[in-house]
Amino acid sequence: MTTFQGKSVLVLGGSRGIGAAIVRRFANDGANVTFTYAGSRAAADELAAETKTTAVQTDSSSRDAVIARVRESGPLDVLVVNAGIAVFGDALEQDPDAIDRLFQINIHAPYHASVEAARQMPDGGRIIVIGSVNGDRMPIPGMASYAVSKSALQGLARGLARDFGPRGITINVVQPGPIDTDANPENGPMKDLMHSFMAIKRHGRPEEVAGMVAWLAGPEAGFVTGAMHTIDGAFGA
Ligand code: NDP
């Protein structure tokens, strides 16, 4: 359980759900973990106390705040960009400001955080961005902006892998299917529809996603970069 002993890890969006599972996983594996949150101060403080990690408020909708946070973190061995939101509804009715905010959080922040992290990252560093199987498949209406944002991460990983590869820095996208979190609770109204698309008819657990992230950040994955890693019970198959 000491795979990441002494390693410096920053998780953007770590207070709840998948991000919190990632924080727990790296902390249990010996890393020095800092994570950000937007509004959930109580959850963040509780998790930080439980895991002996550091919580800092940084809103991923602010490009400059994200860049400053990454810069102030110093040389990171691992950056995980997990913070993400969805805005549901009729594309013809949606507030363009809300859609642009989604793009800021889901696309701009991952891009700028990845580039900023790579400036100080040692050779062999790891960048992992949480995308979605909806980057590959969007079987329902009302989520086009989310699908756009998660598809964009695929280009981010493919392109930045070329820029960072000469230093052995890898960048990968983890693409979950339905995962049981506040954003997508297994007991929610969409359960049966979502499970109808899947071969394994249950929501995934945040810990299962954290396991894939840990593998990508670990010593066995040094040759894995510019790639999408789907963990979805065959939602997208
Ligand atoms: P949750 O809504 O349960 O948790 C989101 C986390 O991201 C929270 O810690 C939240 O912080 C943080 N966050 C959200 N907005 C911001 C922001 N502006 N600045 C900083 N932090 C922010 O989501 P999930 O755990 O379900 O999702 C995590 C990631 O996984 C997202 O990128 C999502 O798109 C992706 N994903 C999730 C799936 C699912 O079914 N759950 C499926 C596929 C992908 P705070 O607590 O302060 O709000």
pLDDT one-digit tens code per residue, 92-105: 999 999 999 999 99
What count of residues does the chain have?
A: 237
Amino acid 228 reads M
Whether 1 has a pLDDT exceeding 60, the answer reads no
Query: How far apart are alpha carbons 18 and 62 in whole angstroms?
Result: 21
What integer pLDDT is reported at residue 134 of this predicted model? Answer: 98
What integer pLDDT is reported at residue 167 of this predicted model? Answer: 98
Residue range 139-169, pLDDT digits in tens: 999 999 999 999 999 999 999 999 999 999 9
Quick one: average pLDDT of 32-48? 98
Structure tokens that stand for 107 in this block: 């696309």
Query: Annotated catalytic, 37?
Result: no
pTM flag (> 0.80): yes
How many angstroms is it from 180 CA to the middle of ligand 1?
Answer: 12
Cα–Cα distances (Å) from 137 to 42, 84, 100, 179, 236, in that order, read 35, 18, 21, 16, 6
Query: How far apart are alpha carbons 177 and 40 in whole angstroms?
Result: 24
For the chain, which domains are there? 8-231 (3.40.50.720)
Whether 115 has a pLDDT exceeding 60, the answer reads yes
Residues with CB under 6 A from ligand 1: 13-19, 36-40, 43, 59-61, 82-85, 105, 130, 132, 176, 178-179, 181-184
How many angstroms is it from 226 CA to the middle of ligand 1?
Answer: 22
